[in-house]
Structure 1
Amino acid sequence: MCGRFEQSETPRYYADALSAHISEQLRTLGDSSPSYNVAPGQRPWMIMLHNGELLFIGMNWGYRTPQEATVKTKPWINARVEKALTGRYFRHMFREGRVIIPAGGWYEWTVENGKKQPWYVTKRTDQPIFMAGLTNFRPDVEQTVETGFVIVTEDSGAGMVDVHDRRPVVLQPEDALLWINLDTPIEEAAYIAQTRSIPTEQFVWWKVDRAVNRVDPNNNGKHLLTPVSESG
């Protein structure tokens, strides 16, 4: 799954990594602060394609139905790619709310000596990642329900399974732009999410300090990405 991620760069940086041409048409809605430890319930950037321009929106990480909100059910933060198109929670988002969540990498956890050990996962190359996401937010529409996004996940496959059995669907820039383009047919979007995720061998991961486990505005620096030794 994906329970935390790092999003410390600017919208311009992520837009340029997607496409030099389309980054000229860039708008932001709301606010988001650079973070090395984005947690559920916070409001990082998500990216939509709206009226031909990239729209960066500060949006709550987490989604629940109005009924769930009434009884204060804990929001969903991930959606399995196997069920995203057909499941009752997310199929309306799959048709009208496909988004990308830009990041430098994400965190996973193992248990060592009874304690949660965080790992940072990132691309081997010095490039951002674009995680497939879904949202119930609609630009230019007045909404009276809670809005938020979830990250689409898949089986980890060989290698990364030692860290966790699920991982985000991470797309190449060209596939990310197809994913968020609502002119892309539903069937093609489903195919992209199910078959075009960047393979595990293009990632690297290492242990980081257990300070990552604590969500704290004052505990949010680049030092959280520093590898720790096997004995640390």
Structure 2
Amino acid sequence: MCGRFSQSMTREDYLALLSEEAERDIPYDPKPIGRFNVAPGTKVLLLSERDEQLHLDPVIWGYAPGWWGKPPLINARVETAATSRMFKPLWLHGRAIVFADGWFEWKKDGEGKQPYFIYRTDGQPIFMAAIGSKPFERGDDTEGFLILTTAAGKNLTDIHVRQPLVLSPEAARVWMQQDISGMEAEMIVEDGSVSAEHFTWHAVSRAVGNVKNQGSELIKSVSN
């Protein structure tokens, strides 16, 4: 699953891997985003395509349509999202990307649960596939977005059985294109996901469990 992640670099650090400046309608901002502990229920910078250009909007992380009557969902299984009653419209028309440095998972140990930070071995940003309720630019607190999850790769199952669906930069850019059909999106997932051997992890402070904590120390390695 994915319940927390880090989005701390500058916008350009992420965007430079996806597109040329001419393909974006996103103001330049050299300031680091600086969110080392992004939690559900908060607004997150979500990347999507409109009019063949990339746009970046603050969108609530969570999805609960009016008929749902339960707490908002934050993840959707990629295995069923394309065909489910609840998620199919989002799969067809609301594909987006959440860029990040890495994500957090918790594993039970003798003292409770130990958090781990999982990230690319080469240090590159990750691009998590998301689906949500458009228009993303409306900026209100209604239906937002979910991060797609998939079965964890072989080496990542030591930490958790699920993981966010991470796409290569090339696949992420195509995933957001509005003229891509639902079936084509399924092919992108199959061919463009980043395999588990590209990731590593280390134990981090239990302070990440408190959403009020946001410092860079939260992603630093600690002894467990």
Kindly indicate whether the alpha-carbon contact (under 8 Å) linking 1:2 and 1:167 is maintained by their aligned counterparts in 2. yes
Q: Distance in 1 between matches of 2:140 and 2:3?
A: 27
Aligned to 2:41: 41
1:79-132 Cα distance to aligned partner (Å, 9 max, x none): 000111011111000010000000000001101114121100000112110000
- Matched AA of 2:165: V
Q: Is contact 2:107–2:114 with CA below 8 Å preserved after alignment?
A: yes
Which one-letter code corresponds to 1:225 in the other structure? I
Deviates more, 1:162-171 or 1:7-16: 7-16
Which SS does the other structure have where 1:18 is aligned? coil
* Structure 2 CA distance for aligned equivalents of residues 53 and 195 of structure 1: 23
The equivalences for 1:81-230 within 5 A come to 81-139=78-136, 146-216=142-212, 219-230=213-224
Conserved in 2, the CA contact under 8 Å of 1:2 and 1:151? yes
What SS is found at the alignment partner of 1:26?
coil
How many residues end up aligned between the 2 structures?
Answer: 220
User: d(CA) in 2 for partners of 1:169 and 1:58?
Assistant: 21
Q: 1:124/1:145 Cα in 2 relative to 1: closer, same or farther (>3 Å)?
A: closer
Cα distance in 1 between the residues matched to 2:157 and 2:185? 25
Q: Distance in 2 between matches of 1:23 and 1:127?
A: 23
Q: Is the contact between residue 99 and residue 132 of structure 1 (CA under 8 Å) also seen in structure 2? A: yes
Cα 1:190–1:4 change in 2 (3 A) is same
Unpaired segments ≥5 residues, structure 2: none
Secondary structure in 1 matching 2:36: strand
Unaligned runs of 5+ in 1: none
AA matched with 2:152: S
User: What code does the residue aligned with 1:89 have?
Assistant: M
- Cα–Cα, structure 1 residues 113 and 99, in superposed 2: closer, same or farther, change >3 Å? same
Asked if 2 retains the 8 angstrom alpha-carbon contact of 1:66 and 1:146, the reply is: no
Distance 1:212 1:23 in 2: 37
Cα 1:212–1:94 shift into 2, 3 Å: same
Matches of 1:168 and 1:116 in 2, distance apart? 20
1:108 counterpart SS class: strand
- Using the size of structure 1 for normalisation, the TM-score is 0.89
Letter in 1 for 2:196: T
Letter of the structure 2 residue corresponding to residue 97 of structure 1:
G
In percent, how many aligned pairs have the same letter?
Answer: 37
SS of 1:44 mapped into structure 2: strand
In the superposition, the TM-score normalised over structure 2's length comes to 0.92
Q: Alpha carbons of 1:183 and 1:206: their partners in 2 closer, same or farther (altered >3 Å)?
A: same
How many angstroms apart in 2 are the aligned matches of 1:66 and 1:144? 15
- In the TM superposition, structure 1's runs of 4+ consecutive aligned residues that sit over 2 Å from their partners are 10-13, 22-28, 142-145
